[in-house]
């Protein structure tokens, strides 16, 4: 597993974005963690978040020059910080975002920032994906840009939520629109999973079996220790 994924989990937990407990997801599924991107609310944290998005971008897309699109509202600071981080690493890309309501005075329109032209590729940057609704809404908004093509989408965390059918929302959205949806990291509870124990900057990896009753899983966070569940696909390339 790439080192930045370890660091990203630590960052989310320390920033209060990743919380452990007993929660109910939008889908109604019981989950032992909750992601609240609204906790990213300082300059230092949004800068750091952009760095993680940039690392994921380079990993998946290399030095492809695309236009970043941040859907209002949470996607806006992500697009700005990710574009800045990419620029600091030698890839200067433009970005833009939308207004919730179209402006009918001044410059007008629904978009703010760079205006993609025909043939340019767009990369959507969002916080999380649940049922895929937000990305579908983004595609409807972006359809007004003649000739522009969405090449990929990046989200902070894939919570492995089911979509409209039996497959994951990420898989459904990717197939529906014909572009890949990537996440900086995945969080998934399954029958066979790994536990990462991060303690005093040392990482130990254990493998364990769990029952389907997630309430039987004990999360411990004390003495600089946190236990995070991740799928094998994240841990091993």
- Beta-strand ranges (E) seen in 63-201 are 67-70, 95-103, 109-113, 121-125, 128-129, 149-158, 181-186, 192-199
162 is an active site residue: no
Selecting among 105, 149, 162, 209, the annotated active-site residue is: 105
Q: What is the spatial distance between Cα 153 and Cα 181, in angstroms, rounded to a whole number?
A: 5
- Whether 5 is a known active-site residue: answer no
Considering only CA atoms, which of 160, 181, 185 is closest in space to residue 1?
185
Chain-centroid distance of CA 96 in Å reads: 18
Considering 26, 60, 103, 115, which one is annotated as catalytic?
103
For residue 118, count CB atoms less than 10 angstroms from its CB and return exposed for 0-12, middle for 13-18, buried for 19 or more: exposed
Catalytic residues: 103, 105
């Amino acid at each position: 597993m790439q080192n930045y994924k370890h660091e990203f989990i630590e960052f989310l937990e320390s920033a209060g974005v990743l919380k452990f407990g007993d929660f109910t997801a939008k889908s109604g599924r019981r989950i032992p963690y909750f992601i609240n991107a609204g906790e990213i609310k300082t300059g230092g944290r949004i800068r750091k978040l952009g760095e993680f998005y940039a690392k994921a971008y380079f990993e998946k897309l290399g030095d492809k020059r695309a236009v970043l699109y941040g859907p209002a509202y949470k996607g806006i600071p992500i697009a700005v910080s990710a574009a800045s981080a990419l620029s600091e690493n030698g890839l200067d890309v433009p970005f833009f975002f939308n207004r919730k309501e179209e402006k009918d005075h001044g410059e007008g329109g629904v978009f703010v920032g760079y205006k993609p032209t025909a043939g340019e590729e767009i990369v959507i940057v969002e916080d999380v994906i649940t049922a895929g609704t937000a990305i579908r809404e983004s595609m409807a908004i972006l359809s007004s840009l003649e000739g522009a093509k969405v090449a990929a989408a990046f989200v902070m965390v894939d919570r492995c939520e089911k979509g409209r059918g039996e497959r994951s929302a990420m898989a459904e959205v990717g197939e529906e629109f014909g572009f890949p949806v990537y996440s900086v990291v995945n969080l998934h509870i399954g029958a066979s999973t790994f536990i990462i124990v991060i303690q005093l900057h040392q990482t130990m990896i254990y493998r364990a079996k769990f029952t389907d009753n997630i309430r039987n899983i004990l999360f411990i966070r004390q003495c600089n220790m946190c236990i995070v569940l991740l799928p094998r696909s994240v841990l091993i390339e």
